[in-house]
């Protein structure tokens, strides 16, 4: 049974994952698999709240520091490599504890989710048609081929319309047939950490203050290209979008002041937390616990043991705790 610790940022997921990994180690030590998209990057440590090696308690961690900041992260590649980590841990008899707040990455790892390939020629032809005929014409075609996809995408999102039509042409199946299903590929129990909005906002502010004091600005400067005021090779498109890094880069570019950048990091981290809660809150399989509980580890272990024994209540049969999203 895989254990996944999920939920919004700043709720203490990494600490609980470490505690669970220690408590669940048996004949073989439990291992942690990261599911935070930005912790994949080498050198992006402070701004992603990556657990330093010295604080990992000797527990093996996977999917940390596997990409250079100039590389673009790929969910499909992560799925392949992280699932291989799960397989290897199982072969060693080790319990896998997955932890992170990147919803799509978690779904790609834990659930049935296929990634159809791409064809540059097909995509180019569709993009040319969108330019020549208009995106509404392509949306009408999508509505005829896959009404559910057309309803969810809408007529103004040219990029997603093109992608949907590309997938349909390449696979011969509706685009929606390739969307994720809430169906685990391996037995899994998800533990979600929740707390009320005021508490989380305060946690976020304290976290940003600690990051600033720990040297976030210097970290970004060391990663940024000289043209951005730094000494490194620069951050790729994906890495440069990370909260904490994007705001500091704008300050380096002269678009904001340091104070404005810091305020923006707090605001955008809070916005990210609400987005994450919306994502995980839609999954009825998540078992929510109060992040501020004084007995959090015991409560989490009780969920895991019930899941192991097959006595965990069915999804939807228990009261839903989603105070952040309320």
Indicate the number of domains in the chain. Answer: 2
C-alpha span between 192 and 14 (Å, rounded): 12
Residue 75 has pLDDT above 70, yes or no: yes
Residue ending a domain, choose from 240, 257, 275: 275
Domain contains 164: yes
- Tell whether 206 and 171 lie within a shared domain: no
155 belongs to a structural domain: yes
Q: Which of 257, 275, 293 is the last residue of a domain?
A: 275
Known binding residues for ATP: 7-14
Binding-site members are 7-14
Instruction: Classify residue 252: in a domain, yes or no.
Output: yes
Res 224 pLDDT > 90: yes
pLDDT at 325 over 90: no
The contacts of residue 144 (CB under 8 Å, 6+ apart) are none
Q: How far apart are CA 6 and CA 287, in angstroms?
A: 10
Contact 149, 177 (CB under 8 A): no
Question: What residues form the annotated binding site for substrate?
Answer: 9-14
Q: In this structure, are residues 101 and 7 in contact, taking their beta carbons and an 8 Å threshold?
A: yes
Contact 164, 141 (CB under 8 A): no
In a domain, 22, yes or no: no
Can you tell me which residue has the tokens 């309803």? 151
| 205 and 158 within one domain | no
Residue range of the domain that includes 220: 199-275
Task: Identify the pLDDT of residue 174.
Answer: 92
Residues 203 and 265 in one domain: yes
The reply to whether 129 falls in a domain is: yes
321 occurs within a structural domain: no
Regarding whether 203 and 174 lie in a shared domain, the answer is: no
Same domain as 167, residue 208: no
Place of tokens 């502010």: 205
Average pLDDT along the chain: 93
Does residue 163 lie in a domain region? yes
Same domain, 154 and 209: no
Judged by average pLDDT, the poorest of 56-60, 228-232, 250-254 is 228-232
DSSP, res 52:
P
pLDDT at 23 over 50: yes
Residues 204 and 158 reside in one and the same domain? no
Q: What is the pLDDT of residues 164-198, one digit of tens each?
A: 999 999 999 999 887 767 899 999 999 999 999 99
Residues 165 and 228 in one domain: no
User: Taking 70 as the threshold, does the pLDDT of residue 320 lie above it?
Assistant: no
Whether residue 163 is found in the same domain as residue 210: no
Q: Is residue 66 part of a domain?
A: no
Look up the CATH number of the domain holding residue 172: 1.10.20.140
Q: Grade residue 81 by pLDDT with cuts at 50, 70 and 90.
A: very high
pTM: 0.86
Convert the pLDDT of each residue in 43-53 to its tens digit. Answer: 999 999 999 99
**Band (279; pLDDT cuts 50, 70, 90):** very high
Sign of CA dihedral 57, 214, 198, 247: negative
User: What CATH number has the domain bearing residue 237?
Assistant: 1.10.287.890
> CA-CA distance, 225 to 220, in Å (whole number)?
10
Q: What is the pLDDT at residue 326?
A: 39
């Amino acid at each position: 049974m895989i254990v996944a610790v999920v939920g919004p940022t700043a709720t203490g997921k990494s600490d609980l994952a470490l505690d669970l990994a220690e408590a669940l180690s048996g004949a073989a030590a439990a291992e942690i698999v990261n599911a935070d998209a930005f912790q994949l990057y080498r050198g992006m440590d402070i701004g992603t709240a990556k657990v330093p090696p010295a604080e990992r308690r000797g527990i093996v961690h996977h999917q940390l520091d596997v990409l250079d900041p100039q590389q673009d992260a790929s969910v499909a590649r992560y799925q392949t490599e992280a699932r291989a980590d799960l397989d290897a841990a199982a072969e060693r008899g080790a319990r896998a504890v997955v932890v992170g707040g990147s919803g799509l990455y978690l779904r790609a790892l834990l659930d049935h989710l296929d990634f159809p390939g791409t064809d540059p020629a097909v995509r180019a032809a569709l993009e040319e048609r969108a330019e020549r005929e208009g995106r509404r014409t392509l949306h009408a075609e999508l509505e005829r081929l896959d009404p559910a996809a057309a309803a969810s995408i809408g007529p103004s999102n040219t990029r997603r319309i093109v992608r949907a039509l590309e997938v349909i042409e390449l696979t011969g199946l509706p685009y929606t047939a390739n969307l994720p299903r809430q169906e685990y590929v391996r037995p899994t129990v998800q533990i979600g950490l929740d707390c009320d909005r005021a508490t989380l906002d305060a946690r976020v502010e304290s976290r940003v203050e600690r990051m600033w004091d720990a040297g976030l600005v210097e970290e970004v400067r060391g990663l940024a290209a000289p043209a951005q005021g730094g000494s490194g090779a620069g951050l790729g498109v994906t890495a440069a979008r990370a909260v904490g890094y994007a705001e500091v880069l704008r300050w380096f570019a002269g678009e904001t002041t340091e104070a404005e950048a810091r305020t923006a990091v707090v605001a955008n981290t809070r916005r990210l937390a609400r987005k994450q809660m919306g994502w995980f809150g839609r999954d009825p399989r998540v078992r929510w616990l109060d992040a501020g509980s004084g007995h959090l580890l015991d409560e989490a272990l009780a969920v895991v043991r019930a899941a192991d024994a097959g006595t965990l209540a069915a999804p939807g049969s228990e009261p839903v705790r989603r105070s952040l999203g309320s």
